Amino acid sequence: MAGGCFWCTEAIFKRLKGVEDVIPGYAGGTRENPTYDQIHGGATGHAESIQITFDPKVISFEKLLKVFFKLHDPTTKDRQGNDVGPQYRSVIFCHDEKQKEIAEMLIKDLEDSGVYTEPIVTEVVPYTAFYPAEPEHREFYERNPNSPYCMFVIDPKITKLYKEFGEDTKKEEEI
């Protein structure tokens, strides 16, 4: 899935019980093995994404999507906060028809609930390929906790995760 900066989404999802691995990378574009610089140049069509490996006996795909929708703004096209461009768009890359049905049902439920005043623009598309990001992007939050981006953008999202989904989160030593 893609919900803005992959540093944020990696830091959030790796804190959930049942999530075994989170890899930042690129999906949804046209070039094989793109680089960070290439996707930010806009020529490849990729979004900053994460690939999540999870145990469905511990956490469901639907719960992952609920966290996804709660911790980013699915109503802004090609943007999350100050991060602007198609590489920051909101996308769910579905591996099968069941995931697509769950994603579309959840979007419909959210739209019907009135939680968001603007329409949800999250794309729901078939998974085609995922390319891991360069090593310096992996575990960025853990390696750079004092960077301004981590303190002002990621920390509030993690605080919100613990507040909204505390029972679903790992203990700090399990991360």
CA–CA gap between residue 146 and residue 171 (Å, rounded): 21
Single out the catalytic residue among 5, 8, 94, 150: 5
**HSE-up of 160 (CA within 13 Å, CB side)?**
17
CA–CA distance, 85 with 164 (Å, rounded to integer):
28
Asked about 5 being catalytic, the answer comes back as yes
Residue the block writes with tokens 């899935």: 1
Cα angle at 136 between 69 and 33, to 5 degrees?
80
Helix ranges, 25-134 (H) = 36-40, 61-70, 97-113
Active site residues: 5
